[in-house]
Amino acid sequence: MPTRTRFSPKAARLAGLLAFLTLLIVAACSKKGSPPDPGTDPAEKRKADAAYNSSITPGIGNVFFEEALKPNAPSQLVFKIAYNEDTLAGYGKINGSGQLQYLTSTVLAKKGNAELLVTEMFPEVSKSRMYTMLNGKKGKIVVEMNHVSTSRVSMSILDFNWETGASAILSQTYFENGKPAAAYNAFKETGEGGDRVYNCAEPQPSDDISKSVDNTLDYFQCGGHAYDTYPALSAIKAAILKGLESARGSAQYQNSQQEIKSLESNYSYLSSLLKNIGGKISGYKFEKSRLAGYLRDLAALIAELKAKLKPDVLLKPFPEATDLEYDEVTDSEIKLAFTLYDNETDLPYTQKPVGVDFALLIPGTNQAVHMETKFTSTVNGLVTFKIDPTTIPEYEKYTSLTARYAFTGDDWNPSKTQDVTLQYIRPKVVMADGSAVPYPLTFESGSKKVFKLVNEDGRDIAVNYNDLTLENSNAKVRYTMLKGTRDFDLTLSHDETVDQLASLDVMYKQKKIQVISAHVTPPCGSAPQIMGVSMDCDTRGIRIKVAFKADGAGILAYGGSGACSKEGTCYPVRLYFMNPGAPQFEIAANGYNVELISGTVNEGVVALYISGCQPGKGARESLDYMYPNYRWQVQLMNRCNKRSSIVDL
């Protein structure tokens, strides 16, 4: 069903009555229990119970539990505990079996109920807040906890406007595993002393109300409200006190001194109280009563009055301005838009702004990774929530989120949800023409190659190449990177005489996206020099011996096979021939074999073998016999196609 609220012209008067009734509901309680056993004085029994409880925990008096929990009640008064001259009341969500599921709020009443400390929990969005009520008026200073994950939490001290729902952040601190963190950075630390830090198992409901209260209070404390009970949370306590102290010293909040002092002292007092009673409630003597009685009627009346303070409106999604299928290649943000309609006129409601709460949750959980409140426009009734998902801590691990929204002040009940899909840029390195980077990729020392970044699916992406860096595994290999706006050049070089292998980790925005395996050969050097040519006969045939010198990488000491262009490096130890009447020399393709018979590729002798040494004839005579009137030439080259002079045989 759509989320609806109603408007009454008596809103101001009802708001005052609402504040008065809210005070009554936490300050009063009927104590009607089962009829006492014959001969038992109820007053004496309560006195004895209080004395017994105080012997277990000094200061604890009578304990009262609601005897009739209402199935599926979103929030019902469950218990009331007397402590010294003060009272702690607990409200909880009741499951379908009439069992306490978890606490939704506690109220610490002091000084004759004129001073209240209210703590509210919203497990649906993993959020809680704490504030004071002095003489029935809610304080403007609010401490808010936002549990981002099982290890991360943010604490904010807010200047909160209860009429509009708007707030300003006075101070904010981030924590990871109970320790202050610089915003949401990536480091991970374990909790101190093995304490549970935010990673709190939800309590299991029980038919024994005293055990249920014990369990839910432990859950309440573990979530960050009892800092003395869970020492690993002491850093949060220090941050809250520091923030409140800063607010107290601000000239802007001189009129809020009593409120701030009350919040400081009472929240420490609550922590101490919860520490003292933790795990002991099931051992106290208690009385089951109809705690609500007339209070139950008042609670219902408050809910009705609360609804009447708001207009009769309906919030409808606005698809034309909504985009919940986020693709980082093409999108810059998630957008969820609504139009607020007046149910009486079926036109956009523009009489006054209406607050809407918005949260992004991890699917299947109540962990919020983003929360905000906005107000509808008084021009067209529109409200639009926009968020860049890449600003969410560890955003890349989420492929989907759940968007939850509700009217501000409804405490997320009722609320609606929509699914959000997320597709992030995952850059990869390709060659400048878009082809894949070969494995391995061969570089000649001193040469450059051009690359670019694209998305993993090959789509072009906007890249700031200033965010690109390399990490090189081979100290002997030097690299130079020239960054452009559309691609980058990479030059690898070294001074070794042998090939070098290097693994280059490509880092983009400080994350490794790929590894380039580079095979870096020595510099080619200058063109080889032929120092002399001789021929003899060998068991393999006519042997042409070519003495040479070559710097850098040396010559390519092999022949070839098949057809070959004269301009290529095929047949790098090359034998040319020209038959009688031919206009030019040709490569003697497939007509000879090559072998380095002495030295190295930088200096030595390479041999060319042609079959056909004739009995009783020398090498030259045999060559002329086999190929009369042919002319012959030899040439050497390196891998850069730098060539020696051609020498005639």
Question: Which of 556 and 209 is assigned the larger pLDDT?
Answer: 556
Predicted confidence band of residue 40 (pLDDT cuts 50, 70, 90): low
Q: For residue 488, what pLDDT band results from cuts at 50, 70 and 90?
A: very high
Query: Tokens standing for 435?
Result: 């082809």
Choice between 202 and 546, residue whose per-residue pLDDT is larger = 546
With cut-offs at 50, 70 and 90, classify the pLDDT of residue 276: confident
Strands 574-578 vs 541-549: parallel, antiparallel or unpaired? unpaired
Query: Which range is least confidently modeled, 128-137, 171-180, 395-404, 413-422?
Result: 171-180
> What per-residue confidence (pLDDT) applies to 154?
76
Please say whether the beta carbons of 310 and 7 come within 8 A.
yes
Is the pLDDT reported for residue 68 higher than 50? yes
> Is the model's pLDDT at 541 over the cut of 70?
yes
pLDDT score of 234 more than 50: yes
pLDDT of residue 29: 39
Percent of the chain past pLDDT 90, that is, above it, reads 40
Tell me which of 480 and 285 has the higher pLDDT.
Answer: 480
**In the structure, what pLDDT confidence band is assigned to residue 303 with cuts at 50, 70 and 90?**
low
Contact 200, 233 (CB under 8 A): no
CA 631 to chain centre: 75
Give residue 524's identity as a one-letter amino acid code.
C
Reported as a pLDDT band with limits 50, 70 and 90, residue 388 is: very high
Average pLDDT over residues 6-25: 40
Pairing of strands 167-176, 152-160: antiparallel
pLDDT at residue 6 is higher than 60? no
Q: What is the mean pLDDT of residues 449-471?
A: 93
Q: Is the pLDDT of residue 647 over 90?
A: yes
Is the confidence at residue 550, as pLDDT, over 90?
A: yes
Task: Kindly give the pairing relationship between strand 76-83 and strand 86-94.
Answer: antiparallel
**pLDDT for 185 beyond 50:** no
Q: Residue 150 forms beta bridges with which residues?
A: none
| pLDDT at site 200 | 59
The pLDDT of residue 177 = 67
- 630, pLDDT greater than 90: yes
Residue 614: pLDDT band with limits 50, 70, 90: very high
pLDDT mean over 35-59: 77
Q: How far is CA 373 from CA 134, 160, 393, 401, 548, in A?
A: 26, 12, 20, 18, 81
Per-residue confidence band for 333, with pLDDT thresholds at 50, 70 and 90: very high
Contact (CB, 8 A) for 521 and 442: yes
- Concatenate the DSSP letters of all residues of 90-116 into one string: EEEEE-TTS-EEEEEEEEEEETTTTEE
Pairing of strands 309-317, 334-342: antiparallel
Q: What is the mean pLDDT of the chain?
A: 80
Q: How confident is the model at residue 442 (pLDDT cuts 50, 70, 90)?
A: very high
Out of 256-270, 342-356, 420-434, pick the least confident: 256-270
Q: Report the pLDDT averaged over residues 153-174.
A: 79
The mean-pLDDT minimum among 57-61, 175-179, 598-602 falls in: 175-179
- pLDDT higher than threshold 50 for residue 197: no
What is the C-alpha radius of gyration for the chain, rounded to an integer number of angstroms? 42
Tell me the average pLDDT across 166-187.
Answer: 67
Type and span of the H or E element at 456:
none
**Residue range 246-256: average pLDDT?**
63
DSSP category for residue 46: H
What confidence tier does 111 reach under pLDDT thresholds 50, 70, 90?
A: low
* Range of weakest confidence among 244-248, 371-375, 399-403, 575-579: 244-248
> What's the pLDDT score for residue 218?
65
Q: What is the mean predicted confidence (pLDDT) over 359-387? A: 90
State yes or no: pLDDT of 477 exceeds 90.
yes
Q: Is the pLDDT of residue 14 over 60?
A: no
User: What pLDDT is attached to residue 472?
Assistant: 94
Q: What percentage of the chain exceeds 70 in pLDDT?
A: 78
HEC string of 419-441? Answer: EEEEECCCEEEEECCCCECCCCE
Q: Can you tell me the mean pLDDT for 375-386?
A: 93
Reference 406, options 348, 350, 355, 370; nearest CA is 355
pTM: 0.48
Asked whether the beta carbons of 617 and 625 are under 8 A apart, the reply is: yes
> Which is more confidently placed, 586 or 279?
586
What pLDDT is stored for residue 596 in this prediction?
A: 97
Whether 471 has a pLDDT exceeding 60, the answer reads: yes
In the predicted model, is pLDDT for residue 547 greater than 80? yes
Closest C-alpha among 489, 492, 453, 454 to residue 472: 492
Phi and psi based region of residue 54 (left: phi greater than 0; alpha: psi -120 to 50; beta: remaining): alpha
The residue-averaged pLDDT of 486-514 equals 91
